[in-house]
């Protein structure tokens, strides 16, 4: 299973608008094979609130999962100042093993 992390930032004064957007029922749905594992809110950084959400998907569905996540998070980007990035995660030990194979 692959893990994908979504990192989002938004201005604190836009929290009410973001919550209203989050509560809307017309937001894009996640495919059945994509599962939210964790979702955290972090401290205010650079004058913005920050959240981290980690999703899990089958290895053969990474592209489709990233596309679905981008579509969903773009929906929230209708809130002025909201930004996000999508990151494919790797287990640190596995990444080191791959690096050492070089």
- Helices (DSSP H) in the chain: which residue ranges? 15-23, 62-76, 92-100
7: how many CB neighbours lie within 10 A of its CB?
15
Please report the pLDDT score of residue 5 as a whole number: 97
Fold of 2-100: Alpha-Beta Plaits (3.30.70)
pLDDT in tens, the chain (102 residues): 899 999 999 999 999 999 999 999 999 999 999 999 999 988 777 688 999 999 999 999 999 999 999 999 999 999 999 999 999 998 888 778 877 887
């Amino acid at each position: 299973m692959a893990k994908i992390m979504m990192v989002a930032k938004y201005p604190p004064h836009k929290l009410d608008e973001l919550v209203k957007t989050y509560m809307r029922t017309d937001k894009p749905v996640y495919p059945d094979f994509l599962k939210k594992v964790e979702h955290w809110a972090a401290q205010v950084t650079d004058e913005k609130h920050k959240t981290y959400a980690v999703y899990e998907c089958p290895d053969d569905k990474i592209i489709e999962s990233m596309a679905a996540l981008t579509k969903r998070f773009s929906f929230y980007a209708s809130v002025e100042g909201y930004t996000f990035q999508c990151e494919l995660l790797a287990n640190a030990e596995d990444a080191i093993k791959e690096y050492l194979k070089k």
